[in-house]
Amino acid sequence: MKIAVITGGSSGIGLATAELFAEKGYLVYALSRRGGESSGNVRHLVCDVTDEAQVQSVFAEIFMRHGQIDVLVNNAGFGISVAVELTDDAQAKKQFDVNFFGCFHCCKAAVPLMRKTGHGVIVNVSSMAAALSIPFQSFYSASKSAINALTLALANEVKPFGIKVCALMPGDVKTGFTAVREKAQDPRGVYGKTLQNSVAVMERDEQNGMPPRALAKAILRLSQQKRPRPLSTAGAQYHVFALLQKALPASLVNRIVGEIYAK
């Protein structure tokens, strides 16, 4: 039985992915800060990905039990919505601690274990916001862009050991992510209704987005491909967005994004 470790596994994309992998015969360890009720081939473990020592301990325990970790899906994350000048250091660091350093901690724990068995796949859940930086989600966009950079570098570093690394950049997905987004206030009204409208557009698009199961299927496909693309998207419209982002001048792309999210 293959072993999959999935972070952010208590809800949304992570839970849907854990359930799908379990259906396909994997024994899945779903990691999250609050844990969950284990059932069938899905075992929930409490693990805060921002705590490197805890991450190392959990991965070592899983490897000790089974002698292998075949797939790691780095999905844990959250978002903040705030103008750059209104963001304090604590908010920015928290965003990177969860989204980027959480991913880094898990990769750092998994790679030596995968190297011992000579195989393994790491799928990092990034975002289209990594390629199309969203106004008032600057630090979320930056953290996801950092994941892409980490993915590309790590893929080349571990290729000689039989380990594959890739990132999936989803667009809008309908999950509980929307409800837990942290929103900063604009007490002086510097940005007027622009900030409010931007958040409203994001939340509307998310709640009309793809179901988590669709992303789970994309993650499963990537994990099973012989040569997965290092960066890929899910959903036909997001493939188009990715192509346009590459084909059009950056100034034009950024202007279009601004028209959508910063009116």
pLDDT in tens, 53-85: 999 999 999 999 999 999 999 999 998 888 999
- Residues designated catalytic: 10, 126, 140, 144
pLDDT digits (tens, 9 = 90+) for 201-246: 767 766 767 889 999 999 999 999 999 999 999 876 666 777 777 7
Residue 183 in this model has a pLDDT that exceeds 70: no
Residue 180 banded pLDDT, cuts 50, 70, 90: low
pTM for this entry: 0.90
Q: Which domains does the chain have, with CATH numbers?
A: 3-261 (3.40.50.720)
pLDDT digits (tens, 9 = 90+) for 84-134: 998 989 999 999 999 999 999 999 999 999 999 999 999 999 999 998 888
Query: C-alpha angle 102/214/150, rounded to 5°?
Result: 30
Alpha carbon distance 227, 100 (integer Å): 24
